[in-house]
Amino acid sequence: MSVSCHAKPGLPGQAGTARLLATCPDRSGIVAAVSGFLHKHGVNITHSDQHSTDPEGGRFFMRQEFYLSGLEERLDELLREFERDVASQYKMTWRLVPARRKKRMAILVSRLDHALMDLLWRVGRGEMPAEIPLVISNHPDLRAAVESFGVAFHHVHVPEAHDAPRGRGLSLPEERMLELMDNAPGGPIDLVVLARYMRILSPAFVKRFPQRIINIHHSFLPAFEGADPYRRAAERGVKLIGATAHYVTGKLDKGPIIEQDVIRVSHRHRLDELKILGRDIERQVLSRAVRWHLEDRVLVDGNKTIVFA
């Protein structure tokens, strides 16, 4: 069962606005406990979503957006008292996120620029609540395009055969990428987006950003996992092609799916035409998934996601 209610539109980025995300074993009284706690502290709930996988023995998921004057000064108090009065009682995994702070996003890309340029454009236009301090590519081709947005571009060569993992399980290129992200001006990286980055990341690298690496795969997973899906789709004569945005895990193209979309095709479409059509879908799917993550609308349930979009 899913429930959504809206008192008035949320105001992402406004001082005093925050988001509470929580998941716990389902039981009676959760919504009342959370709402009662917020009411006691003078909070105005502006947006509330709930979902239960099964009212008997299932998991409960909640996202609440609220406004509280003087939030920054009272944040530590809210965190401490919510854990004591509500979260510990209901065995919650939770986080409370001030909406004013934009998440910092690093983009990894290879040669294809369509997904990258779409993200740069949307962030530059203010459509996404994010900062992009750097773009990293295993090819130098896109430097001028990226720098035209005022974003730092770094070329980190990744051989076809990756360097052997070192002591921490990272290849030399991965160590360099992490060094760049750790030292990005303005603070740590919150999210890594693979905008058609055509190299496989090691489990050790992925572990540094749990549920914080989003990939766009150019097929409707689980169909055509791995490399060259458009060619395999054409050979199979499919009538739909699509794209999938998912969190990256240690298993290739197996992470929790955030968003998908498809477009109808026919026997008349050549391979190059499928790729052109597919890139439009890739841009749209990736931008929606990234925006939902930035707005704290995604909760992971095992190998699935709950998306309060």
The tokens for 149 are 């947005």
- 253 counts as catalytic: yes
Q: Which of 175, 199, 118, 186 is nearest to 152 (CA)?
A: 186
Please give the C-alpha separations between residue 235 and each of 227, 238, 270, in angstroms, as whole numbers.
14, 8, 10
One-letter identity of residue 32: A
Longest dimension (CA), the chain: 63
Backbone angles phi, psi at 283, to 5 degrees: -60, -45
Strand order from edge to edge, sheet including 130-137: 152-155, 130-137, 103-109, 191-194, 213-217, 240-247, 257-264
Q: What single letter denotes the amino acid at residue 83?
A: E
Residue 179 phi, psi (nearest 5): -60, -45
- Catalytic residue, candidates 113, 118, 253, 296: 253
- C-beta separation of 95 from 21 below 8 A: yes
Which positions are catalytic? 253
